[in-house]
Amino acid sequence: MSIANIEYPSLILAIPAYNEAGNIEHLIREFLTTEYPNLVEVIVADGGSTDGTQDIVNKLSLEDSRVKLLYNSLKIQSAGLNLILQECTSDIFLRADAHSDYAPDYIEKCVEALLESQAFNVGGAQRFVAKTPFQAGVALASKSFLGSGGAKYRNPNYNGYADTVYLGCFWTKELRGASGFDISQITNQDAELNQKLLNKNPKAIYISSDIHVWYYPRRSWKSICIQYFKYGRGRYLTSIKHTKQLQLRGKIPFLFISATLFLSLIDFIIPQLSLHTEVLILSCLLFPFGESLRTIFKFRNEFTKELWRGSEDEIPSSLSLWFFCGVTLLTMPIAHFSGYGYQLFRRRFLKVTGW
């Protein structure tokens, strides 16, 4: 099916933003040049930027009446997206992220996939790209099973139904029917929303390899720690809201590390058992660096073409890629476990039900 032979559904582009002065103008201008003929509005929900983001959006709104700025007093992405949803009068609600690049036909391919799949929400794979050595390590980590968890939305060649998708292109009526995004979850709101859609229809979420979007990951180790700590907290909140779904992928870091720590405690208390958990712990610490080496070797011919977006004279050395990829693969599960455990402790012992 091609959208060229049918009536074009009306579409709104939704961008939650905070301090995106370096990206927002280029992003909006790129979308405004789309060949899709029924882009009704580009709405930015700004969470109180202090770097001039709001001024840029206001300037663009004077040039093109389709551009609109909303003020997101709650600052979090889910609240901003819900503000845009309240304003939406279009058939389709297309979400965009200011930390990503989009193919020129991104809108067209999203609409085509939405029509052909008959799903409620569609998207493309989250393709990681980098401009710094640390980002490059994170991008390579996303290619590993240890870094992606086998998620279908991390596979650029996957076509089919899935449990969640990067960003999302929704039928507005279905998004409203699911009550929009959960503002009690600062992270993992996408997966939680998609779970609500899947509860209505097991084929609600669809991934198309024809939809191309490239994501720039965090630039520092500290930011990756914070990001995955929050992911762990959000995953726990989703798991208690949707208890009928196993969601094993999101629980694996917590279950595995908890089991390792429990065995280590038993080994310490009862040394006669000779469990040798120190060998297990050492293996767990070293394995990410072995997996990093394997991943770099596997994708060595694709790195400069598919992952690197920096200048040619700044391409990272293999040694730095190995180190940063290994550190990322080690950090992700530990930070996720910590966030999951922290949120579990808050709920079970402190009786705090929300974030």
- Full pLDDT tens readout for the chain, 355 residues: 455 546 899 999 999 999 999 999 999 999 999 999 999 999 999 999 999 999 999 999 999 999 999 999 999 999 999 999 999 999 999 999 998 999 999 999 999 999 999 999 999 999 999 999 999 999 999 999 999 888 999 999 999 999 999 999 999 999 999 999 998 877 778 888 999 999 999 999 999 999 999 999 999 999 999 999 999 998 898 888 876 655 566 788 889 999 999 999 998 899 888 888 899 999 999 999 999 999 999 999 999 999 999 999 999 999 999 999 999 999 999 999 999 999 999 999 988 877 7
Residue in the block written with tokens 């070797």:
297
In this prediction, residue 246 carries a pLDDT of: 52
Residue in the block written with tokens 């080994």:
267
In this prediction, residue 272 carries a pLDDT of: 85
**Nearest by Cα to 204 from 194, 191, 212:** 194
- 153-169 as b/e, with b when 16 or more CB fall inside 10 Å? bbbeeeeebbbbbbbbb
In this structure, are residues 163 and 198 in contact, taking their beta carbons and an 8 Å threshold? yes
In this prediction, residue 238 carries a pLDDT of: 85
